């Protein structure tokens, strides 16, 4: 299942690399959000054009199909950094210390290996589409830009996984309780406080805590 996570920071090289790479992930995530906004605008234009003027947007389905790769993949590394992917932690949630970080390290190593395979396969898929001039069925929109997004986004994910491998390996070696640069699962009280803060604002939560 999914849970609330936090990512700790300090002045180490690992944490500085994490914060620097977060800027790239945030930018890609923003681009994915902009694409979603543009799709909403496109859908509204298509509906109103069909209803008012009997003139739907030409190639609407083609544009939607190409845009799906952008908002589906560009935010994948950011979500991994924030610990936002769906996961089953029934067993892992009972582990502590080195055993917990060792299990996380094994999981990230497996994810890294699978991601490398996906990068290779998606790049070949893009290259084939580029070489044969593959295009959409309706308005002959080139498909290679959308297919190129996949290996690029997965490459960013692979770099994020390398950072997490570094972090978990260091945590196992040092026996750290709360390592930096990786998502930490918070307890129920911290989750409730974070949700309340996001809804009411930090000031309201602080005032509530200060009351006797």
In DSSP terms, 183 is beta-bridged to 7
Q: How far apart are CA 182 and CA 13, in angstroms?
A: 14
Residues in Cβ contact with 96 at an 8 Å cutoff, skipping those fewer than 6 apart: none
Residues in Cβ contact with 140 at an 8 Å cutoff, skipping those fewer than 6 apart: none
Q: How far apart are CA 116 and CA 166, in angstroms?
A: 17
Among candidate residues 73, 41, 74, 63, the one with its CA nearest the CA of residue 142:
63
pLDDT at 189: 62
* E strand or H helix that includes residue 6: strand 5-7
Q: Rounded to an integer, what is the distance from CA 144 to the centroid of its chain?
A: 22
- pLDDT surpasses 60 at 208: no
Domain boundaries, the chain: 5-190
Q: What is the dihedral of CA 6, 71, 23, 10, to 10 degrees?
A: 10
By the 8 A CB rule, do 62 and 39 touch?
no
Q: How far apart are CA 153 and CA 195, in angstroms?
A: 29
Among candidate residues 54, 57, 33, the one with its CA nearest the CA of residue 45:
57
Span 82-110, pLDDT tens digits: 988 887 777 887 888 899 999 999 999 99
Q: Rounded to an integer, what is the distance from CA 19 to the centroid of its chain?
A: 15
Span 141-192, pLDDT tens digits: 999 999 999 999 999 999 999 999 999 999 999 999 899 999 987 655 665 6
Span 6-63, pLDDT tens digits: 899 999 999 999 999 999 999 999 999 999 999 999 999 999 999 998 899 999 999 9
Token readout for 153 is 């986004």
Residue 205 — very low, low, confident or very high, per pLDDT cuts 50/70/90? very low
- pLDDT surpasses 60 at 4: no
Residues in the chain: 212
pLDDT at 1: 46
- Strands 5-7 and 183-185 come out as antiparallel
């Amino acid at each position: 299942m999914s849970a609330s996570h936090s990512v700790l920071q300090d002045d180490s090289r690992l944490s500085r690399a994490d914060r620097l790479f977060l800027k790239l992930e945030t930018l890609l995530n923003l681009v994915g959000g902009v694409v979603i906004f543009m799709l909403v605008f496109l859908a509204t234009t298509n509906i109103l054009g069909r209803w008012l003027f009997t003139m739907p947007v030409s190639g609407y389905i083609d544009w939607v199909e190409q845009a799906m790769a952008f908002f589906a993949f560009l935010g994948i590394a950011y979500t991994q950094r924030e610990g936002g992917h769906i996961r089953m932690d029934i067993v892992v949630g009972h582990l502590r210390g080195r055993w917990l970080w060792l299990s996380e390290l094994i999981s990230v190593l497996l994810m890294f290996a699978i991601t490398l395979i996906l990068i290779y396969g998606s790049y070949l898929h893009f290259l084939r589409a580029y070489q044969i001039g593959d295009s959409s069925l309706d308005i002959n929109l080139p498909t290679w830009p959308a297919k190129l997004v996949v290996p690029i986004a997965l490459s960013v994910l692979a770099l994020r996984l390398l950072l997490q491998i570094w972090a978990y390996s260091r945590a196992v070696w040092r026996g750290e309780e709360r390592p930096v640069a990786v998502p930490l699962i918070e307890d129920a009280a911290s989750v409730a406080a974070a949700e309340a803060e996001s809804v009411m604002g930090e000031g309201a939560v602080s005032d509530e805590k200060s009351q006797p």
